[in-house]
Structure 1
Amino acid sequence: MTPPAVPAAVAPVVAAFLADRGAVDAALRRFGSPVHLVFPQVFDANLTALRTVLDAAAPRYRICYAHKVNRSGAFARAAAAAGIAIDVASVWELRAAQAAGFAGDRIEVTGPKGVALLREAVAAGATINVDNLWELETLVAMAGPDSPVPVLLRISGFAEGAPSRFGIDLGAAGAALELLVRHRARLRLLGFAFHLDTAATAERIGAVTDCLRLIELAYTRELAPSVLDIGGGLRQVFTADATAYDAYDAALRAGLRGTGPALQWGAATFGYQVCGGAIHGGPVYHKYANTEPAAAILADLLATPLPGHGGHTMDRVLADNLLDLWLEPGKALVDQAGITIATVEFVKQAGNGATLVHLDLSRDTVTAADQEVLIDPIVLSATARDEPVGVFFAGRLCLERDLITQRQVRLDGVPAPGDRVVFANTAAYHMDLSAAIAGMHPLPAKVAVCRDDSGFTLCPDADYRPDGVVV
């Protein structure tokens, strides 16, 4: 059986680039293979979609681009040029943000922080999204009495949702407020924040409700918070056909149960548990099932009534209480804004009869090691092929685990050496989170791609400038 196809969702400008074989070849001739390509114009379009929702529903808001999703300087400069803020989580991200043009009042520092990051953040004049009581106490010692450090309190431990290792537990929020009251000359409370590892509206509404109660509590302590920060976690759209995704998932599960052809490599189960002929649990590729754009998820959240507020929606409650809405989208801003291109080196038949297509990159270059990409790579072949086949893509490392796809992928035909293989939507974490450099392979080049009336222009990511000037 040839497996079902799972086509990738591709932004129009990216699709146009891939259709321009001359532009693709030029990129590979100039920068080598494999190569990461980022598209700042897609970033701008994603930002516009979020702004459109917020302009209509929450006139007081602040968007902070979560830099950690991609080391790209092009994305950071696009964010700076667009006038939004940036969320950084390390000393190096902070310095990169400054180099991209962000002043301290447009920088928010999140995540767990050591002394070095806190010290540099205070010196930069950044807002600090505090993860724990130790950070607050350390900031008291660092801050000057005449220049209070702006802080948000990141809260966790909400009734709904999984436990989190991040943030101040809801039960300890009172202790944090007492510390802020004692040191109001050194710390200035802007508001409360949360970041949930889910896009579920119900869980977010629960967190919002608890944070609003904390805002009320802070006012009783003569503090004046004015910010509700809902974090990031808005989803991406990976697949162009939800029905095709469901069909592949069903076929894969049938193979695992033994009621259909096996589509998995070896003992791979993709997070499912197989017991007694039944499939239990959820797959590691679940995020690829989403078909709702980030802007729609955000609009739905803002239009949801808040419990205890007379049936008023979230956006209405924020407006009535003169609260600023902050958010830190990362994946949502780089959704479909990056691709990775590799080259077929050779094709072989494995002892189990499987067709292995070997590429000049490793699995860790395009996905985290524990994830399976449930959208099909796109093969750019020099010759027409019309005999559908199922293949596995294999990586270049001398490790059994370096199988880029542990599931069969449907192709129009067996690729040939030299064919290009495109991995779509790799900008969020996939490019930088765990890129393998074993075997002394260098990291792939990262290149910014822009389109104008004359075609596509490419430049090293570090050289990209939003005004079109390349340094």
Structure 2
Amino acid sequence: MQPTTANAASPLMSDTETKVPALPPLLDPTIATLLEHSPGRVMELVEQFGSPLNIVWPHILHKNLHAMRSVLQAHGVEHQIFYAIKVNKSQSLVHAAVDAGLGVDASSLYEFRDALRAGAKPEQICGTGPAKPDAFIADLVSRGALISIDSVEELAVLESLLSDYRDNWPIRVTLRYRPSASLQSRFGMTANDLEHCLRKLSTQKAAFQFEGFHFHLGGYRPAPRAEALCELVDWVDTARALGLSPRMVDIGGGIPIRYVESDSYDAFIASHHDGHYRNATTPTSFYPYGGRMDAQKWLSLFLASPCRDGQNIADYLKQENLVLGLEPGRSLVDQTAVTAFRITRVKALGENDYVLFVEGSSFSACETWFNSEFLQDPIHLPCGLAGANDDKPCRAYIAGHSCLDEDVITNRFLPFQSRPQTGDLIVYANTAGYQMDLLENEFHRVPMPNRIAVNSDLTTVVLDDLSGEAE
């Protein structure tokens, strides 16, 4: 089933009342049913585990993977998908990815260990990231994981380990390329460095097993990635001419998802202004929350992009017997989690304007720290005290509990049909992707927020703890 909008669960004012289009979140049907029909159950969970509370539905990852694989299989492209573990600290999501047969993209020694703890085989893990610490490199080598080499210097580190790890030969590696669209990036290798490393590897075939190329770009458009892959066509030929056998081109992540309906998003972007923000400043950059392209459409466009000799990318990969490597994070955890904040204070700012202080901080919903906004409306769940909520429409922004004036979950004034009160919940949907825990910390010595993993009907609730183990 496709995600639905949260109109039934969200008591936001209508467009005609606010003059600004609402941005109700898209919701997986399982989550929509819970919030609309069993809000009391969410209240109970927050009472038990505290606020903010991150609730994770690991089974939804399998649905996202199925949608992604269906496109790749329709194009007949051999592929290897590595779950980008950095997207979220939930170990239940890592377990779901491993159980689904995915590899894991690990960018630190700690992510690597969590992947192993979840049951991932070392050969299914790719160690990525720039300037890897020596201890991380050594652990990758000793266990036989794939290593994405970011630089000439990193290859030199690997060469220095050869004598100590002779029993682990050949060391499996890819080379990270710096595409022409990212020449100012500090990541990956220029053409000269790439050629240097290829020649080095070609003279040490007993020690190294060269498996292919890797790149990672910012942004979310398929075209730059298609162009980058096409730039590697000649490098594949060069590697083969040197007697190497590249088997894969890994294009990294950056596959977009949709948080809100596209029409609502376009209408909002066209009409919002400084007066809609408590700091009188309209952000200039947003994630494409209501973009017209979901993961399936993105993959289809990428694979259909022109490549060499009139071929598209899918045909080129098949002809050259190359595996397409992917490292999705956000697109695999789409719709897998929500974050619930409990309101601790409602402070009047003026007639019908309020600030809602919540138990928690913007470190658990972090877009404002990047001078942007998490552009979807949260869902207001009243605590149910009779007569407690003023039924007069109002607007409010949401702030954290800390002493920092910048601790604001949203600078945007949100419209409410009735004034929220202390004890109500504010629920943000779709927070698994780089939202709930990217910046979380124990500021003011407040313990880290709890994360729980649940099944579809909440008959199973387990603590998905911060050490990375679902108990």
Residue correspondence of structure 1 range 22-421 to structure 2 within 5 A: 22-112=40-130, 113-143=132-162, 144-145=165-166, 147-156=169-178, 158-161=179-182, 163-239=184-260, 241-253=261-273, 256=274, 262-270=275-283, 283-306=284-307, 309-350=308-349, 354-368=353-367, 369-370=369-370, 371-382=372-383, 387-421=392-426
Q: Secondary structure at the match of 1:138?
A: helix
Aligned pair in 2 of structure 1 residues 10, 351: CA closer, same or farther (>3 Å)?
A: same
Partner of 1:6: 23
| TM-fit CA distance, 1:134 | 1.0
1:434 paired to 2:439: yes
| TM-fit CA distance, 1:422 | 0.3
Paired with 1:114 and 1:359, the residues of 2 have a C-alpha distance of 39
Q: Secondary structure at the match of 2:265?
A: helix
Aligned pair in 2 of structure 1 residues 140, 264: CA closer, same or farther (>3 Å)?
A: same
| 8 Å Cα contact 1:13/1:42 also seen in 2 | no
Which residue identity does 2:436 align to in structure 1?
Answer: M
| 8 Å Cα contact 1:86/1:108 also seen in 2 | yes
| 8 Å Cα contact 1:363/1:402 also seen in 2 | yes
| TM-fit CA distance, 1:267 | 4.5
Paired with 1:242 and 1:340, the residues of 2 have a C-alpha distance of 23
Question: Percent identity over the alignment?
Answer: 33
Paired with 1:411 and 1:161, the residues of 2 have a C-alpha distance of 43
| TM-fit CA distance, 1:462 | 4.4
| TM-fit CA distance, 1:31 | 1.1
Paired with 1:51 and 1:295, the residues of 2 have a C-alpha distance of 9
Q: Secondary structure at the match of 2:460?
A: strand
Q: Secondary structure at the match of 2:209?
A: strand
| TM-fit CA distance, 1:305 | 2.1
Q: Secondary structure at the match of 1:439?
A: helix
Q: 2:461 aligns with which of 458, 461, 469?
A: 458
Paired with 2:467 and 2:174, the residues of 1 have a C-alpha distance of 33
Structure 1 unaligned segments of length 5 or more: list them.
Answer: 257-261, 271-282
Paired with 1:374 and 1:46, the residues of 2 have a C-alpha distance of 22
Q: Name the TM-score, length of structure 2 as normaliser.
A: 0.89
Paired with 1:208 and 1:223, the residues of 2 have a C-alpha distance of 18
| 8 Å Cα contact 1:238/1:291 also seen in 2 | no
Which residue identity does 1:250 align to in structure 2?
Answer: A
Q: What is the aligned residue count?
A: 443
| TM-fit CA distance, 1:37 | 0.9
| 8 Å Cα contact 1:85/1:102 also seen in 2 | yes
Q: Secondary structure at the match of 2:411?
A: coil
Q: Name the TM-score, length of structure 1 as normaliser.
A: 0.89
Paired with 1:252 and 1:110, the residues of 2 have a C-alpha distance of 39
Which residue identity does 1:136 align to in structure 2?
Answer: L
Which residue identity does 2:216 align to in structure 1?
Answer: H
Which residue identity does 1:245 align to in structure 2?
Answer: Y
Q: Deviations over 1:204-244 (max 9, x none)?
A: 111011112111011111111111111111012111x2222
Aligned pair in 2 of structure 1 residues 170, 198: CA closer, same or farther (>3 Å)?
A: farther
**RMSD between aligned alpha carbons?**
2.2
Paired with 2:144 and 2:213, the residues of 1 have a C-alpha distance of 19
| TM-fit CA distance, 1:463 | 11
